[in-house]
Amino acid sequence: MKEVKVELKLESDIKAENFSFIFTEDLIQIKYLGSNIIKCTWDDKFDPEWNGEDLIMILEENEISCPSGFKEMIVYAWKEWRDNKLNDSELISEMQELSKWLNVITKKKPKTKFWSIYF
Pair 89, 77: CB distance under 8 Å: no
Pair 98, 86: CB distance under 8 Å: no
Q: Is the pTM of this model over 0.85?
A: yes
Between 33 and 104, name the one with better pLDDT. Answer: 104
pLDDT(18) > 80 = yes
CATH code at position 70: 3.30.2210.10
pLDDT(23) > 90 = yes
How many folded domains does the chain comprise? 1
Rounded to the nearest 10°, the torsion over CA 90, 67, 19, 60 is 180
Structural domain of 71: 3-117
**Residue 31 has what pLDDT?**
94
- pLDDT for 50-99, tens place per residue? 999 899 999 988 889 888 899 999 999 999 999 999 999 999 999 999 99
- Residues found in the chain: 119
